[in-house]
Structure 1
Amino acid sequence: MIENNLKTAIKASLEAGDVIMQVYDTAFNVEIKDDKSPLTEADKRANDVINSYLKDTGIPIISEENKQIDFDTRNQWSTCWVVDPVDGTKEFIKRNGEFTVNIALISNGKPILGVIYVPATKTIYFGDVSKKQGFKAQLSSHQTPLEELTNKIKPLNPKSADGSIVQVVGSRSHMSTETLDFIDTIKQSGKEVEVVSKGSSLKFCLVAEGNADVYPRFAPTMEWDTAAGHAICNAVGLEVISKETNEPLLYNKENLLNPWFVVSKQ
């Protein structure tokens, strides 16, 4: 049985995926925001769709494309949505398909539900932390009804951490010094390292579905980049640990920028 807020997030992500692909198939314009990040009509339209679904829950929303609300107000929220309507806008612009819709529900700073939808492949991932369940489904349409979706789901199963080869999520073309040091530490323990790569929040999904062992992120991310993936990983027994505190990442902070982190089994 899928929890009601999770149902809402799934429906919102599918409809957002539909409008994203409508833009994807056109000659769209790209704007540059104040923070130098790109913005397309897909980001705006997907954000409108997601807001229209989530506002009916009565739970406040933090979205990359919404006007950010003062922390004095946000600090009063025990529960909130954290949304990235198009995670991987650069991937969207490159038209490589590796962009996602991210929707997470946060309670007291911790992710409790998460949905990641991949519109280009019609693949959905979702997790419920309280039920310790995470699933993936391959859909035939953005309009797939929930009843049909639930018939297609398969459980997510992370790898056991006892292989001789450690698959590390990273960039094949340019890795930071910190990531290279992280990999060297694994090699020094006597294990081989294979680097696997994906765009956007699909990096979390690689670990959650057992196609990678660990995802070290030693570069800036925002809360909306990670919240949904964090929830899905937690739901299947993985941890997302801050390199600053050695504790799980927290959400709805005064500064919405994340510290560096590592996703793995603890």
Structure 2
Amino acid sequence: MQLNTDILLDISRDAGVAILKIYNDLNLADQVDYKSDDSPLTLADQASHEVIMKGLREHYPQVPILSEEGGNIPYEERKHMTYYWCVDPLDGTKEFINRNGEFTVNIALIHDRKPVAGFIYAPVLDTFYYSSNGEAWKITGGNKQPLKVNNSTSNRIAVRSKSHPSPEEEVVLDQYDVVNSISVGSSLKFCMVAEGKADVYYRFGPTMEWDTAAGQAVLEGAGGVVYKETGPERFTYNKENLLNGSFLGLGF
């Protein structure tokens, strides 16, 4: 399947613009509801979802869309999908609410249970991280540069969740000569490993498939790998239950 990366970048940016309109209006940004699992839902989640759905349906009408804010697609239908979009319209809703700017728009293309392209846009940073055709790139300030993992052999840096830290991570990180860590929100954790600012990302707690798909695509496009639990099986998608277990992302 051929992708037009410019179209995907434009859709991602348009979604980010919709998010920022709400983020910069405190009366709107403070309107938060909660889903049945107690996760927060803002007007920005919904606005971004609508922009992405419109753009993907216009340019790729033949490809199904699985979005966090869309209706669930029954597994009996999903299991037959060769290609589909896996979308998180606003990854890092808690970061949005806390107003630290560390939230992203995530769009991934899944093919045969593997993420083959990923587009991440951080609206506040006006920065893209994306991968397609086995390569990964960063665009910021109008400059485009390739993403490559660090391939560190020692004194490694771990990236950790700002909203979901876990003591179980320490056991795994100790195995990889981790001497320091940085904390960041949303799918930016994958991006930090992809651009060599960190080497290891281990997540013990649960996530959903749309939380990780674009980030995995970017990291693997930059030469890294994402394992189910601690390996050696690659992390895959389109499971009957969309809830993820633990995973390990490595930049070496």
Deviation at 1:76, TM superposition (A): 1.4
| Cα distance change, pair 9–192 in 1 and its aligned pair in 2 (3 A) | closer
| Cα distance change, pair 172–102 in 1 and its aligned pair in 2 (3 A) | closer
| Cα distance change, pair 83–171 in 1 and its aligned pair in 2 (3 A) | closer
Deviation at 1:243, TM superposition (A): 1.2
Question: Is 1:8–1:54's contact at 8 Å kept on the other side of the alignment?
Answer: no
The partner residue of 1:133 within 132, 135, 138 is 135
**C-alpha offsets along residues 136-182 of structure 1, whole Å, 9 cap, x if unaligned?**
0114xxxxxxxxx6xx210112102223x110112479742321112
Unmatched runs of 5 consecutive residues or more in structure 1: 140-148
- Residue in 2 aligned with 1:78? 82
Q: Please tell me the residue identity of whatever aligns with 1:136.
A: K
- 2:157 is aligned with 1:155: no
- Residue in 2 aligned with 1:167? 157
Q: Please tell me the residue identity of whatever aligns with 1:76.
A: H
Question: Is 2:195–2:222's contact at 8 Å kept on the other side of the alignment?
Answer: no
| Cα distance change, pair 95–183 in 1 and its aligned pair in 2 (3 A) | same
**C-alpha offsets along residues 116-142 of structure 1, whole Å, 9 cap, x if unaligned?**
0000110001001xx321110114xxx
- Residue in 2 aligned with 1:142? none
- 2:238 is aligned with 1:258: no
Structure 1: distance between partners of 2:103 and 2:163:
19
- Residue in 1 aligned with 2:54? 52
Superposition pairs of residues 209-248 of structure 1, within 5 angstroms: 209-243=195-229, 246-248=232-234
Calculate the TM-score normalised by the size of structure 1. Answer: 0.88
Structure 2: distance between partners of 1:68 and 1:125:
27
Deviation at 1:183, TM superposition (A): 2.8
Superposition pairs of residues 186-205 of structure 1, within 5 angstroms: 186=176, 191=177, 193-205=179-191
CA RMSD, aligned part only?
1.7
- Residue in 1 aligned with 2:24? 25
Deviation at 1:246, TM superposition (A): 2.9
**C-alpha offsets along residues 62-86 of structure 1, whole Å, 9 cap, x if unaligned?**
0000010110111111000000000
Structure 1: distance between partners of 2:230 and 2:68:
23
SS of alignment partner, residue 81 of structure 1? strand
Query: Sequence identity, in percent?
Result: 44
- Residue in 2 aligned with 1:110? 114
Structure 1: distance between partners of 2:123 and 2:224:
25
- Residue in 2 aligned with 1:143? none
| Cα distance change, pair 174–231 in 1 and its aligned pair in 2 (3 A) | closer
Question: Is 1:6–1:114's contact at 8 Å kept on the other side of the alignment?
Answer: no
Structure having the higher strand fraction is 2
Structure 1: distance between partners of 2:231 and 2:83:
23
Deviation at 1:184, TM superposition (A): 2.9
Question: Is 1:213–1:264's contact at 8 Å kept on the other side of the alignment?
Answer: yes
- Residue in 2 aligned with 1:145? none
Q: Please tell me the residue identity of whatever aligns with 1:185.
A: Q
Question: Is 1:6–1:113's contact at 8 Å kept on the other side of the alignment?
Answer: no
Question: Is 1:171–1:195's contact at 8 Å kept on the other side of the alignment?
Answer: no
The partner residue of 2:169 within 179, 186, 192 is 179
Structure 2: distance between partners of 1:171 and 1:36:
19
Question: Is 2:173–2:202's contact at 8 Å kept on the other side of the alignment?
Answer: no
Deviation at 1:7, TM superposition (A): 3.0
**C-alpha offsets along residues 210-241 of structure 1, whole Å, 9 cap, x if unaligned?**
00011011111100000001111111111100
Q: Please tell me the residue identity of whatever aligns with 2:126.
A: K
Structure 2: distance between partners of 1:173 and 1:235:
26
Structure 1: distance between partners of 2:134 and 2:180:
28
Unmatched runs of 5 consecutive residues or more in structure 2: none
| Cα distance change, pair 257–18 in 1 and its aligned pair in 2 (3 A) | same
